[in-house]
Amino acid sequence: MAGNIPGTKYSTSKFLNKFGNLAQSSQYRSHIAFTQNLYNALVANDVPRLLLSEAGMLCKATSLPGSAISTHDVRDFYGVVQKSAYMRQFDNTIDLTFYIDSDYQILYMFEAWMEYVMPLMGKNPKGIAYYTANYPDNYRSELYLYKFNKDMDASWATVGPFDKRGAIVYTFLNIFPVNISAASVSYDPSQNLEFTVTFSYERYITDKTGVRDPGMMGADSYFGNSQPVLSAPRDNPSNPFDRSSRSLEGSGSAFNEADGKNSIRKNQDRIRELREINQEQGEPGQPNQALKDVSRSDINTQRLINQRNTSSGTLSGTVNSSIGEGLA
């Protein structure tokens, strides 16, 4: 009797039964979902409707897409470099290799698609003519890449009623062809003729991609009110209490120290003090007398005039009083 694999609880036979069923590279299918405008344009160019529906059957090879997370360095602590994510990046192009049918309809289809993206304008294609771009919504479509396993069509007696048939579906959004490769021909021994089409796309999703509603869980992170580290020190730039007045006033903080309330109260008092600095003050008990359309220089000029008039009035009053006393 064979023993267990070292470090696991599985015997060799159980391990192979549980983990030996690996995905194979040859079970897949691609499908292009044309928009109605593009579909009508291709049909008008004598592209068979059957080919438009089953062009993916001629796809010889492709690749599952990849993506990456773009990061930037955060240096909150001396000598420590942290990575923070700020954008998700996609490959933005995908290559599909097609077999060429004996009627060359698959070539005509992609040539017609590219001509629809950049139609040739003029009266004679060999004479004076020029290219102009079509509207993006007219020529963009969707590409589906379906990767499955051999047991896709197996009966429940084979895979079991509670066993999931392995598969993944990629949906590429807003695709259109940007390049058609050359197809080499020669008098060497014949081979199947094929070519590669490069598609541009904005992004992809899978059949299990979720969408997060900003109004539901995690809404604070969408509005910049979340505190990534609950135990962040006060001198940490990530601490919302020391970053800006908006964060100081925010109520969505996760700051939970014993003196947190006192710190918030002190910070709010400091905000009020800062707001009162260099503010135009009116008479006691009266609102600010500064008008919206009056500049600060005009206000200062008027203030100097008022002070000068006040000083002149006080001086003339003093002189008149002295003269009166001399006459008396």
| Separation of first and last alpha carbons in the chain | 137
Contact assessment for residue 59 and residue 30, using Cβ atoms and an 8 Å cutoff: yes
Res. 123 pLDDT band, cuts 50 70 90: confident
Contact assessment for residue 234 and residue 242, using Cβ atoms and an 8 Å cutoff: yes
Q: CA angle at residue 47 from 182 to 180, to 5 degrees?
A: 15
- Give the CATH number for residue 123: 2.30.110
Residues contacting 129, CB < 8 A, separation 6+: 120, 121, 122, 123
Q: Tokens 């007219």 map to which residue?
A: 138
In a domain, 79, yes or no: yes
pLDDT for position 238: 44
Mean pLDDT of 59-63: 94
Q: What share of the chain is helix, strand, coil (3-state, %, to 5)?
A: 35, 25, 40
Res. 167 pLDDT band, cuts 50 70 90: confident
For the chain, what is the domain count?
A: 2
**106, 81: one domain:** yes
In a domain, 101, yes or no: yes
pLDDT for position 46: 92
Residue 296 scores a pLDDT above 70:
no
- Looking at 276, 293, 312, the residue that finishes a domain is 276
Helices (H), 140-259: 156-159, 219-222, 245-249
- Looking at 206, 228, 263, the residue that finishes a domain is 206
**242, 166: one domain:** no
Tokens of 195: 């070519």
Segments forming the whole domain that contains residue 107: 25-206
Q: What are phi and psi of 199, to 5 degrees?
A: -105, 145
In a domain, 11, yes or no: no
**91, 224: one domain:** no
**108, 243: one domain:** no
**63, 180: one domain:** yes
Contact assessment for residue 129 and residue 120, using Cβ atoms and an 8 Å cutoff: yes
Percentage above 90 pLDDT, the chain: 38
pLDDT for position 159: 47
pLDDT for position 9: 72
In a domain, 294, yes or no: no
Q: What 8-state DSSP symbol labels residue 159?
A: H
Q: Which residue has the higher pLDDT, 320 or 64?
A: 64
Contact assessment for residue 171 and residue 202, using Cβ atoms and an 8 Å cutoff: no
d(CA 50, CA 222): 46
Residue 287 scores a pLDDT above 50:
no
**153, 106: one domain:** yes
Contact assessment for residue 267 and residue 260, using Cβ atoms and an 8 Å cutoff: no
In a domain, 43, yes or no: yes
Residue 84 scores a pLDDT above 60:
yes
Mean pLDDT taken over the chain: 74
